[in-house]
Amino acid sequence: MSSLDQLESRLLSDIASAADEAALEAIRVGALGKKGTVSEQLKGLGAMSPDERRTFGPAINGLRDRVTSALAERRQTLADAALDARLASETVDVTLPVRATGADLGRLHPISQVTEEIAAIFADLGFAIAEGPDVEDDEHNFTALNFPVGHPAREMHDTFFFAPDASGQRKVLRTHTSPVQIRTMRSQQPPIRIICPGRTYRNDSDQTHTPMFHQVEGLVIDRTAHMGNLKWILEEFCAAFFEVPKVEMRMRPSFFPFTEPSMEVDIRCSRQGSEIRFGEGDDWLEILGCGMVHPNVLRNCGLDPDEWQGFAWGMGIDRLAMLKYGMPDLRAFFEADQRWLQHYGFRPFDLPSLIGGLSQ
């Protein structure tokens, strides 16, 4: 074996066994650097005869080319191995379940959800939201709403009374959201279009009644507001709320001191077991009370009934939630049971809107 062949086989085997980039660089310098073994051979060419050069020249150049390409190949192999090692050490196990955050675990109570749904529908119809205090005086809860003192209608409400204050007045926990009508008419000039959602209280408790519950009141005051407007608004609301194309309503005469005439509204439904569907069937379900605002109520708020008229309605938010989402027992709403909330609650960032969908 010539000395060139020996040099080549030693260099090639060194290159093949170089363990890393630094070892490879040392071999390159040792062979192809200024004083490297291959460079020394090339320098020797100058002193050779033309004949020797003809044989040696191609041999030594060939050796240099093969060593150069072996170096490049090995460098690539080492780089690939380094990348593989890095990829292996940085792998992410995509099958691991994501750890749930508070936003995933938390749930909006169905009452909050349904209140938002109702607000979204009426906001779309141009209604503002009005609020009033839970602790009311007799004047706003009853007298101004045309419940005369001693009138038996006051007894219908199973009112919670506070002990008399220094002036002998007994405050009440409001028994309905209707006092907000009075507060609004006394503080704003018509035209008025409001809804008033909020807590209400009556001394009552069974599967469909709890001492604290929720109502939403609606009030429209204008010069020409009439029952046709009222019926259209309620139909629009019911269809949007129950997410059906159309609902059929019927109005039955009723009595409330603050409206004349007064009606109760039923919607057509079908029942199978505990399941209720709206917009079809042979059954009727009562969902709200309504009527034209009584002239005495307008007068009590400083409005001339010959100039202004209006209509109003009131409905139970809890009852609407039970009907829409099939929750059979109202008491469970207020037991703060995590399992119930996980099941019936709503994701906090899925806010109801008429465009995005009310109840997704």
Binding-site entries for Mg(2+)? 260
Supply angle C-alpha 195, 201, 207, rounded to 5: 105
- Interface residues with ligand DAH (CB under 6 A) are 176, 178, 217, 256, 259, 289-291, 312-314
Of the pair 218, 352, the CB lying nearest ligand DAH is at: 218
Tell the smallest beta-carbon distance from residue 243 to ligand DAH (Å): 24
Q: Which residues make beta-bridge pairs with 206?
A: 209
Tell the smallest beta-carbon distance from residue 108 to ligand DAH (Å): 25
Closest listed residue to residue 174, CA positions, set 144, 148, 147, 137: 137
User: What's the rounded Cα separation, in Å, for the pair 110 and 102?
Assistant: 18
Supply angle C-alpha 314, 184, 128, rounded to 5: 70
Closest listed residue to residue 246, CA positions, set 277, 282, 218, 220: 277
Of the pair 202, 324, the CB lying nearest ligand DAH is at: 202
Of the pair 191, 357, the CB lying nearest ligand DAH is at: 191
Tell the smallest beta-carbon distance from residue 172 to ligand DAH (Å): 13
DSSP 3-state of 192? strand
Of the pair 56, 311, the CB lying nearest ligand DAH is at: 311
User: What's the rounded Cα separation, in Å, for the pair 274 and 152?
Assistant: 35
Place of tokens 């002036």: 167
List the binding residues: 260
Of the pair 227, 327, the CB lying nearest ligand DAH is at: 227
Tell the smallest beta-carbon distance from residue 307 to ligand DAH (Å): 20
Tell the smallest beta-carbon distance from residue 315 to ligand DAH (Å): 7
Residue 321 and residue 359 in contact, taking contact as beta carbons nearer than 8 Å: no
List the end-to-end C-alpha distance of the chain, in Å, as a whole number.
83
DSSP 221-245: EESS--HHHHHHHHHHHHHHHHT-S
Of the pair 116, 286, the CB lying nearest ligand DAH is at: 286
Cα-Cα-Cα-Cα dihedral sign, residues 152, 154, 157, 163: negative
User: What's the rounded Cα separation, in Å, for the pair 128 and 312?
Assistant: 14
- Please report which helix (H) or strand (E) contains residue 340, including its range: helix 338-344
Tell the smallest beta-carbon distance from residue 150 to ligand DAH (Å): 19
Of the pair 41, 309, the CB lying nearest ligand DAH is at: 309
Which residue's CB atom is positioned nearest to ligand DAH? 314
Place of tokens 């109520």: 297
Tell the smallest beta-carbon distance from residue 262 to ligand DAH (Å): 6
